[in-house]
Chain A
Amino acid sequence: MHLPDSCAPATLTAPRIAPLSSYASQSRGTVHHLEAPDDATLRRLLSLGFTRDTPILVDHRSLFGDLQVSVRGSRLALRADEAQMIWATKIAGVP
């Protein structure tokens, strides 16, 4: 079947919202929402810059799933379960 140019496959264009823990090294995304277990954790994440639409670059993902990310000019280390609290919209075309 022939698809018109304006109708690319949905998997390539639709924004994919996923927890940061699923991101690979060198992936990029923007913060969508936070799922923190308590207010203190939420405030800590917010104060470190994880606010809506903030760009995130995953610098390194370890074998165990822990991440090193760049957010607002600083590098942060997150455990895999902490990265699960941050839901981000993946930027298409990058790993």
Chain B
Amino acid sequence: MTASPTISPLPISRSPGKRACIVVAGNPNSGKTSLFNALTGLHHKVANYPGVTVERREGEIVLPRGGQAILIDLPGVYSLSANSPEEIIAAEVLGGRSKEISPDVILVVLDAANLERNLFVLSQILDQGIRVVVALNMVDLASNQGISIRPEILCRLLRTPVVPLVATKRVGLLNLLVELEKALDSPQPSIAPTLSPKFLWVEDAKRAEFLQSHDWRQELEKAAQNSELSSDGLDAQLRYQWAHRVAVGATARVESSPSPLSLGIDYFVSHQIWGIGIFLIVMALLFQGVFVGAQYPTELLEAGLGYVAHVVGTILPESLFRSLIIDGVIAGVGSVLVFVPQIALLFLFIGILEETGYLTRAALVVDRVMRCVGLQGRSFVPLLSSFACAIPGIMATRAITSPTDRLATIFVAPFMSCSARLPVYALLIGAFIPEKTIAGFLSLRGIVLFSLYVLGVVGAGATAFLLKRTVLRGARSLFLLELPRLRWPSLHNVGIEIFERVVVFVKNAGGIILAFSVILWFLASFPQLPPGTPADIQIRESYAGSLGLLIEPLMRPLGFGWEICIGIIASFAARELFVSTLATVYRLGDTSPDDGTLISILQSQSSLTLSSALGLLVFYVFACQCMSTLAVCRRETGTWRWPIFMFTYMTLLAYAAAWVTVTLATYFGI
């Protein structure tokens, strides 16, 4: 059912040929992104707002009569009083002050089960005088809670089209598109200004006169002087009075409260003590799941890439070009691509946790722990994102309003073991940690992987503690977290998130890593020694070998040979290059008759022992080997001082921690 107000049509003001721009706005957790995903599917791109690093999702939609429009997903806001950079962006766009985005229609998403609170920001959007279409989302969840909203009454009260829908189930989308198209053809704001909540405090009879002769803000301040409230307080009071009246007027019945099961689960997962235990179990299962679940798809991919290399090897004659394709391109890029299953699984689990509403509870339970190190619960989501990649994690710190908390979170974000470290961990664990089970079901390799992630978290905590007690002292900021209701995850949304992140990873592999693989192949293949020289001598005498030999003395206390040193140097550009570099170096220098996997080559030919492999793993936990992270840190902090400090601190820490690990492992005879 759709409800539309009766508005007299006026001429279209859009210039011919220009695509209409529709922005999606609303409260956080109102289902904005679900609706955006449902409308655009995979036809969207993720970029940044110009000049800032707030993520901007933009897609195309086709309207029922064939017209096209650009759909932009704005950050979720509770009001247009901007606090964080995300809110500033949203407030600028919705307030008509953005130079980049000029919306033709604002699609406001309201959570049907939480109408009153969601109407607050709508009241501010309506004040802007831009055409609005309301998507009344999650009507199914509202119905389960005994809340039934009558869209036709809501439409009448708001004087704007209202479309009830369930974005996650793709119900009501066609009606929404029809209303959006109608709104685009109607250039005037779809609300009569006298009904705007900002005029609620003016007596009915005086509204028309007031509209013509007064500045409402001035009037509000005058009125506030005569009351106990500040002008902000009076403004909010009036808007909520309006929201309450609209919500009550449009709601048919309110019968039940959340289910006891949901309340019970919520009690335990957000409990300050049980919640921490549940959080640790969930995280341990997540990393076990990533490692164990990705095993077979990874092996399948490895076999496929081996087959491709074999086919190319039989087609191309023995030449430098053949070596470039097999040892450079296929070995380099292929060695990274095989980790796609692990990255996809990581995002699958993170996506499910986010969709169910658990991540917010996790932020709540870790808040007290994070406060111990000087951070806050709001730092949790950026840090969790950093497990995938530090770059979006650092960008996500923009939601933290306190500058010192934000800087501390940016600084420790690269300590979280990102997806680029995962190939390195997987390779070294696969090669050096025996395949054993503990207590009958826990994989030793999974435990080691989990320990590396924990080590990163501990390093981050200790560093944040130091920073917040020295250079980043500051007052604590507001935490105040909304707890979204627990619900079943939308696999459609999770699928789109996995697709987006895997595409970003593969694009990087295809771009940066391909280029580096070719450069490394060149460095490892030249200067060419006389024909008949053994391959291992050729690689040792190459430019890459010379570079590795140059820094080998520095790395000798850690037990890293010159081939590993080449990998470490290469991975300062990007960590995942370590794997492709070793693949290139070892395949070029491989004198064994069979075409073993990189893991078996590493086991049989590398200079690493179990203790030095553990040292190398610890080195990778702490070393800041990512130029992109340093560049984003520079952009976010506005100075080179922080990225230089970050790089120096993390590199020294990595070296020291690796040395301690190797020394202890050797002492205990590991």
Contact = CB atoms under 8 A, between A and B. Distances in A.
Interface in A33-81: 33-34, 39-49, 51-52, 54, 60, 62-64, 66, 68, 71-79, 81
B115 A47 contact: no
Interface stretch (B50-58, B419-427, B477-485): B477-485
A34 B78 CA distance: 18
Nearest to A75: B483
A92 B480 CA distance: 27
B101 to A, nearest CB: 22
B41 to A, nearest CB: 30
B120 to A, nearest CB: 6
B401 interface: yes
A82 B477 CA distance: 9
B83 interface: yes
B232 A46 contact: yes
A79 B479 CA distance: 7
Nearest to B78: A47
A81 B367 CA distance: 13
Interface in B480-494: 480-483, 485
B58 to A, nearest CB: 26
Contact of A51 (B79, B121, B228, B237): B237
Given A43-B83, A82-B478, A74 B117 contact: yes
Contacts of A44: 78, 81, 83, 478, 480
B563 interface: no
A78 B116 CA distance: 20
Interface in B38-60: none
A73 B240 contact: no
Contacts of B78: 44, 47-48
A77 B240 contact: no
B367 A79 contact: yes
A81 to B, nearest CB: 7
A47 B272 CA distance: 27
B499 to A, nearest CB: 31
B308 interface: no
B83 A40 contact: yes
B83 A77 contact: no
A77 B483 contact: yes
Contacts of A42: 230, 232-233
B252 to A, nearest CB: 16
A73 B270 contact: no
Contact of B233 (A46, A60, A62, A68): A46
Given A48-B117, A52-B237, A73-B117, A43 B272 contact: no
Interface in A2-56: 33-34, 39-49, 51-52, 54
A51 to B, nearest CB: 5
User: Could you say which of B228, B271, B478, B479 has the most chain A C-beta atoms within 10 Å of its C-beta?
Assistant: B478
Interface string B64-91: 0000000000000011010100000000
A21 to B, nearest CB: 13
User: Could you say which of A42, A43, A46, A66 has the most chain B C-beta atoms within 10 Å of its C-beta?
Assistant: A46
Contacts of B120: 47, 49
B97 interface: no
A73 to B, nearest CB: 5
Given A43-B81, A51-B237, A77-B483, A63 B273 contact: yes
B481 A76 contact: yes
Nearest to A85: B478
Nearest to A40: B83
Contacts, number: 100
Nearest to B376: A79
Given A40-B83, A40-B401, A49-B120, A78 B480 contact: yes
User: Could you say which of A60, A75, A82 has the most chain B C-beta atoms within 10 Å of its C-beta?
Assistant: A75
Contact of B116 (A60, A72, A77): A72
B669 to A, nearest CB: 44
A66 B237 contact: no
B246 to A, nearest CB: 13
Nearest to A39: B232
A49 B480 contact: no
B271 A62 contact: yes
B507 to A, nearest CB: 38
A62 B371 CA distance: 16
A31 to B, nearest CB: 10
B368 interface: yes
Nearest to B240: A51
A74 B120 CA distance: 13
Contacts of A79: 367, 479-480
A54 to B, nearest CB: 7
A72 B115 CA distance: 9
Nearest to A50: B236
Given A49-B120, A73-B117, A54 B83 contact: no
B398 to A, nearest CB: 15
Given A44-B78, A64-B272, A77-B364, A54 B240 contact: yes
User: Could you say which of A33, A66, A79, A82 has the most chain B C-beta atoms within 10 Å of its C-beta?
Assistant: A79
A47 B270 contact: no
B204 to A, nearest CB: 22
13 contacts: A42-B230, A43-B232, A44-B83, A47-B79, A48-B78, A52-B233, A52-B237, A68-B483, A77-B481, A77-B483, A78-B480, A79-B480, A82-B479
Interface of B: 78-79, 81, 83, 113-117, 120-121, 228-230, 232-233, 235-237, 240, 267, 270-273, 364, 367-368, 401, 476, 478-483, 485
Given A48-B482, A82-B478, 20 more contacts: A40-B83, A41-B478, A42-B230, A43-B236, A47-B79, A47-B81, A47-B120, A48-B78, A49-B117, A49-B240, A64-B368, A66-B272, A66-B367, A66-B368, A73-B115, A73-B117, A74-B483, A76-B481, A77-B483, A82-B479
